[in-house]
Amino acid sequence: MSALKSLFKQTFIYGLATVLPRMLSFLLVPLYTTDGVLSSVAEYGKVSVIFSYFVLFNVILAYGMETAFFRFFNKEDDKDSVIGTSAISLIVSSIGFFVLALILQNQIAALIQIDVKYINLVIWILLLDALVIIPFAWLRATAQPMRYAIIKILNVAINLGLNLFFLLALKDLASKEGIFETIYKPNFEISYIFIANLVASAVTLILVISFYTKIKYKFDSKLWKTMFRYAFPVLIAGVAFSINETFDRILLDRLLPPDIAETEIGMYSACYKIALFMTLFATAYRLGIEPFFFSHAKTDNPQKNYARILEFFVAFGSIIMLGVVVFADILKPYIVRSEEYWEAMWVVPIILLANFCLGIYHNLSVWYKITDRTKFGAYISIVGAIITLTINIIFIKTYSYKASAIATLVAYTIMMLLSYYFGRKYYPIPYNLKKIGIYLILSISLSILSFYYFRGDYLIGISMLIVFLGIVFYSEKNELKQILKTR
């Protein structure tokens, strides 16, 4: 089986592990945006702000050790030391954070202006999620995508099921006499959301706990220092990335007038989810290619395969972007149920393109991971974070969430271009810029025409999509036949 065919097989399975669970969790958006489930658009905005902090602290608690694990697991002969050192490091740091956060939970709640009862739940969830980082990384590194997929899917299925029970069924059951009357608490909906998350995270840890019972607890301090030096720039890049990805909600909450902030955040966050299709595709692709990058770094001419991988990503990503843009107004009632949120639909093409650029950036990032120049990943992400913060701080008061959407696009575009520029210098890869450029320019142009000039005219929109599909198929048909060909 060719290297590319192996990659696409793993990407498909990791896609199941990512896309199917997130499609299940995707149902939470119409649930939360259905009239009567949460009390207002502002309540959804409050949930979105809390999840923004989740993203930031998940990155901090991982501190780049997942990427370091992949690098050193493939690099070192003593794999037991890599596994043991990584696991012990995450266990100690996670428990240390947990104890400190519990002690300071009241101060944390006051600082970030979130009710302490939510902070308590969030601390527990962060601990449980941190403890599964290395077990999941080990499953990916040892090519166990099916087990990885099943556990991931089960996690979100439990989360979804409990959300449906707490927010829909429990209210109806509580109206009747019985035990449910004492369990149900009015105006407790946000807490129920995080309780569901907590239970799902606990079950996930139980399912991977065998990892901790089987490994050899060998802690190599010298190896840990080397791994941490590799991981630290990844941490910085991750923090900067979390700023690019979710910090705009926090800034909207702080910079907009209090009477409208959470409502604006709620609308923006809900319509942002319509662009999730691109995020799902890019995430599944990244999960497949990251182990591939490291495992094939020492093969003959790996740059050729890396170049072809990016071509396929841009081709399929362009189709997804144009398809979502054309059918955005058909999709929106199924994803964002209440019309109160639809005012923010303007951001959908912007966020789609932004996440497309982010996906390209992740593909381009192979050069600094393979050459152990992860500090460049940190530098590039810091530039993106500065751009995000600057545009948001200057323009939010005037343009609200529109400024946030444009800031995201500008930041990811600049990051993509910087990664290509430095990659060409330190690890040249023969990308087919002509083909990639044609796909990008054509898909972006057609998306702009479809959404901003012919929105709702499906004859024109679908015709554009068919023409683009024809161009991609004609250009890639030989490559696709080779990948699909059986041995």
Distance CA 233, CA 230 (A): 7
Q: Would you give the end-to-end CA distance of the chain in angstroms?
A: 7
Using DSSP, state whether 35 is helix, strand or coil.
Answer: strand
The predicted pLDDT at position 487 comes to 44
Structure-block tokens of residue 164: 């449906």
Q: Are 378 and 233 in contact (CB under 8 A)?
A: yes
The predicted pLDDT at position 1 comes to 43
The predicted pLDDT at position 389 comes to 94
Alpha helices (H) in 143-301, listed in sequence order: 145-164, 170-174, 179-183, 189-214, 221-255, 258-272, 276-295
Q: Are 80 and 215 in contact (CB under 8 A)?
A: yes
What are the backbone angles phi and psi of residue 185, rounded to the nearest 5°? -125, 120
Distance CA 405, CA 392 (A): 9
Which residue matches tokens 């029970």? 165
Which residue matches tokens 């593909």? 363
The predicted pLDDT at position 299 comes to 66
Using DSSP, state whether 442 is helix, strand or coil.
Answer: helix
CA distances in angstroms from 370 to 71, 223, 228, 426, listed in the order given: 8, 18, 16, 10
Q: Are 309 and 351 in contact (CB under 8 A)?
A: no
Name the packing angle between helices 221-255 and 65-75 (round to 10°).
150
Please calculate the CA angle 229-232-233 and round it to the nearest 5 degrees. 105
Beta bridge partners of 35: 38
The predicted pLDDT at position 486 comes to 46
- Which residue numbers in the chain have pLDDT < 50? 1, 486-487
Residue 382 has a CB neighbour count (10 Å cut-off) of 18
Distance CA 443, CA 426 (A): 30
Write down the pTM of the prediction.
Answer: 0.81
The predicted pLDDT at position 438 comes to 94
Q: Are 236 and 384 in contact (CB under 8 A)?
A: no
The predicted pLDDT at position 131 comes to 94
